[in-house]
Amino acid sequence: MRRILFAIALLFFAGKLWAEKPVMIWVEFADKANSPYSLSQPHEFLSPRAIERRQKQNIPIDFYDIPVSTTYIDIITGETGMELYYTSRWFNGALFKAESPQAAEMLFQFDFVTFSEIAKSEVQEPSIKSGTQRLEMPDTGDKFNSYESSFPYSGKKDFKNMGDYGSAEGQVTMVNGQSLHERGYWGEGKVIAVLDAGFRAVDTLRAFQNLWQQNKILGYYDFSQAREELFQGHSHGSFVLSVMAASLPGEYSGVATEASYWLLRTEEAASEFRVEEYNWLAGAEFADSVGADIINSSLGYTVFDEPAQSYTYNDLDGNTTVVARAANMAFSRGILVVNSAGNYGSQNWKYIGSPADAHGALAVGGTNSEGSRASFSSVGPTADGRVKPQVMAQAQAVSVVNTMGSIGNANGTSFSAPIISGMAACLWQMFPDASNTQIKQAIIRSADKYLIPDSLYGFGIPNFNYAITFLETELEDTENLRLVSNPLTPQSAIAFYAYAQEAISIELINSNGQRIWAKDNFAVFPGYNELRPFSDIAGLSPGMYLIRVNFRNRAEMLKAIKL
């Protein structure tokens, strides 16, 4: 009998320990009542740079930019004893730490709470206390003037020869990135927020000294619950950053060494819980607030340690997962969101992760050094049938600077994404008046399989020289290539503006991606041109067609219908 009572006592004690195990709880609110903030005073919650980005892209400041009600936060922390970690303007919610799962039941008493879930059920105390939050996360009540960073334009970086890239040359030339570098564009004046797992040794490595000396590390923050020392923890973010920003003259050059960077830890490498999606949301929202132009995220979420939190393929429709909705919000604020497609291509789950599936994310798959798809690169399409990944870059044997300061190789779409992010910064520097949508579309349109995309390669490998041409054309004349008379007839004309005298070719491509008609050597001249090349198309079958006009250094497309 004594043994039975002892066993019951042990079970009770174990149950009590389980009940008191700390958890992270996500909470969303019904409104933003009693807010001291106003849309007429956005400088109180957005940096000048964030406001400028919206103004340049004609994006209004709206309800989603207003901070969460401090009244609701005070009520929850005061009456439940839960600890606030961070808030979200976009989702009108907050993440709390509670001492037990039962704390979630207390939230039912508040009529302003519309949703809550346990985002992480195994909260561990950090083994290393963080001392690296250079800037506290701006939260409700903080004005943003003190968080604004300035980086005066210092002129274009000189480009001497291809040897400047060192071992990184192949991954740059694959996307014709040198076409921007040779013009002197290395990302100066653009801000990239790197959302990752940790940045070991970035504060000490010689490869990143240039960033620190020129104040191009604008700040860093740990949104994760591990709260480890940011520069002594995981190294994944260090490798990712090196692809964009490392500089070892004569040995190695990243693709955007003149850009400025925020280093934001959102990933907890030791575990996988829904909370990491909320961390990503908080990191993206912070990036928006401080005026970042680009988010590079070499992260993806599908399956979690808590099975109930895991996603299915049907959830990858671009607007269901927490992190996809966060990426869409970031894109709607004028940020270019670049995300790795994932490394599941050879696994049972072969599809892209999230937020790569997001409507607002530019998903980057991976190739080997020869441009062939790496077997591990995740595939599409999305659950709703969209082309993903959208573009490709080298992901196998990518040259990186490791945490010992040596140059080595790394595998994964984690490293193809920063190639595209960094080159996008260079492209945007060249076209500062372009929107995030225009930059994204120029990169996609420049890819080598743009007319025949598939679920393995997406639209293919970008050519940044073509992207330059597309943006020159689009920003000069948003309707440069026009079809005069559609539906297509033998009398239809193609009208466009040419920048040089040259000979062009015109093709018709059917809905199966097959070229079924072509004509070459049409002479065009600088200025406005109007050609009527379709005199012999009367016998073509009815249907939808793409008209492709091949100029010397670019191709442009139109859609047409034949009745």
Specify if 226 maps to a domain.
yes
| Average pLDDT of the segment spanning 513-532 | 82
Q: What percent of the chain has pLDDT over 90?
A: 59
- Of 435, 450, 465, the residue that ends a domain is 450
Are residues 281 and 427 located together in one domain of the fold?
Answer: yes
Are residues 305 and 435 located together in one domain of the fold?
Answer: yes
Q: Measuring CA to CA, which residue among 307, 141, 131 is closest to residue 230?
A: 131
| Range scoring the smallest mean pLDDT among 59-68, 84-93, 185-194, 513-522 | 513-522
353: which DSSP letter?
Answer: -
- Of 72, 106, 123, the residue that ends a domain is 123
Are residues 316 and 383 located together in one domain of the fold?
Answer: yes
| Average pLDDT of the segment spanning 475-495 | 75
pLDDT band at 7 (very low <50, low <70, confident <90, very high): very low
373: which DSSP letter?
Answer: B
Whether the Cβ atoms of residue 123 and residue 97 lie closer than 8 Å to each other: yes
Residue 83 has pLDDT above 80, yes or no: yes
Please write the tens of the pLDDT for every residue from 222-231: 998 756 678 8
Are residues 254 and 373 located together in one domain of the fold?
Answer: yes
Sign, Cα dihedral of 387, 392, 395, 397: positive
Q: CA 336 to CA 99: how far, in whole Å? A: 38
Are residues 418 and 504 located together in one domain of the fold?
Answer: no
Specify if 46 maps to a domain.
yes
Q: How many domains does the chain have?
A: 3
Q: What is the pLDDT of residue 233?
A: 83
| Average pLDDT of the segment spanning 469-493 | 76
Specify if 176 maps to a domain.
no
| Range scoring the smallest mean pLDDT among 13-22, 100-109, 497-506 | 13-22
Specify if 131 maps to a domain.
no
Q: What is the pLDDT of residue 226?
A: 58
Q: What is the pLDDT of residue 134?
A: 36
Packing angle, helices 236-245 and 413-430, rounded to 10: 30
Q: CA 273 to CA 292: how far, in whole Å? A: 27
Specify if 403 maps to a domain.
yes
Q: Measuring CA to CA, which residue among 409, 302, 406, 318 is closest to residue 362?
A: 318
Specify if 464 maps to a domain.
no
User: 152 Cβ partners below 8 Å, 6+ apart?
Assistant: none
Residue 143 has pLDDT above 60, yes or no: no
Cα-based distances in Å from 146 to 48, 121, 223: 11, 36, 20
Tell me the Cα Rg of the chain.
Answer: 26
| Average pLDDT of the segment spanning 319-344 | 95
pLDDT band at 52 (very low <50, low <70, confident <90, very high): very high
Where do we find the tokens 């909370």?
Answer: 275
Per the model's pLDDT, the better-predicted residue between 485 and 66 turns out to be 66
Please write the tens of the pLDDT for every residue from 252-293: 999 999 999 999 999 887 778 889 999 999 999 999 999 999
Per the model's pLDDT, the better-predicted residue between 557 and 163 turns out to be 557
pLDDT band at 18 (very low <50, low <70, confident <90, very high): very low
Secondary structure (3-state) at 76:
helix
Are residues 274 and 335 located together in one domain of the fold?
Answer: yes
User: 10 Cβ partners below 8 Å, 6+ apart?
Assistant: none
**H/E/C letters for each residue in 175-222?**
CCCHHHHCCCCCCCCCEEEEEECCCCCCCCCHHHHHHHHCCCEEEEEE
Packing angle, helices 464-476 and 413-430, rounded to 10: 40
| Average pLDDT of the segment spanning 323-331 | 95
Q: What is the pLDDT of residue 100?
A: 86
Whether the Cβ atoms of residue 556 and residue 503 lie closer than 8 Å to each other: no
Are residues 102 and 206 located together in one domain of the fold?
Answer: no
Are residues 234 and 354 located together in one domain of the fold?
Answer: yes
What are residue 363's DSSP bridge partners? 339
Q: What is the pLDDT of residue 292?
A: 97
Are residues 321 and 398 located together in one domain of the fold?
Answer: yes
| Average pLDDT of the segment spanning 319-332 | 95
Q: What is the pLDDT of residue 124?
A: 59
Where do we find the tokens 């520069």?
Answer: 231
Q: What is the pLDDT of residue 271?
A: 76
Are residues 425 and 492 located together in one domain of the fold?
Answer: no
Q: What is the pLDDT of residue 280?
A: 97
Specify if 507 maps to a domain.
yes
Are residues 518 and 446 located together in one domain of the fold?
Answer: no
| Range scoring the smallest mean pLDDT among 69-83, 162-176, 277-291 | 162-176
Residue 166 has pLDDT above 80, yes or no: yes
CATH of the domain at 539: 2.60.40.3080
Read off the tokens for 79. Answer: 């009456």
CATH of the domain at 347: 3.40.50.200
Most confident of 101-105, 144-148, 394-398: 394-398
What are residue 482's DSSP bridge partners? 495
Per the model's pLDDT, the better-predicted residue between 312 and 130 turns out to be 312
Q: What is the pLDDT of residue 8?
A: 35
Provide φ and ψ at 170, rounded to 5°: -60, -40
Read off the tokens for 59. Answer: 């994006």
| Average pLDDT of the segment spanning 474-486 | 67
CATH of the domain at 29: 3.30.70.80
Specify if 146 maps to a domain.
no
Residue 111 has pLDDT above 70, yes or no: yes
The overall average pLDDT reported for the chain is: 85
Q: Measuring CA to CA, which residue among 483, 422, 479 is closest to residue 211?
A: 422
| Average pLDDT of the segment spanning 178-203 | 96
Are residues 316 and 408 located together in one domain of the fold?
Answer: yes
| Average pLDDT of the segment spanning 195-204 | 94
Read off the tokens for 458. Answer: 């997406």
- Of 123, 148, 177, the residue that ends a domain is 123
Q: What is the pLDDT of residue 558?
A: 83
Read off the tokens for 155. Answer: 């002129």
- Domain range for 531 is 482-562
| Average pLDDT of the segment spanning 244-249 | 96
Secondary structure (3-state) at 143:
coil
Q: What is the pLDDT of residue 159?
A: 55
Q: What is the pLDDT of residue 123?
A: 65
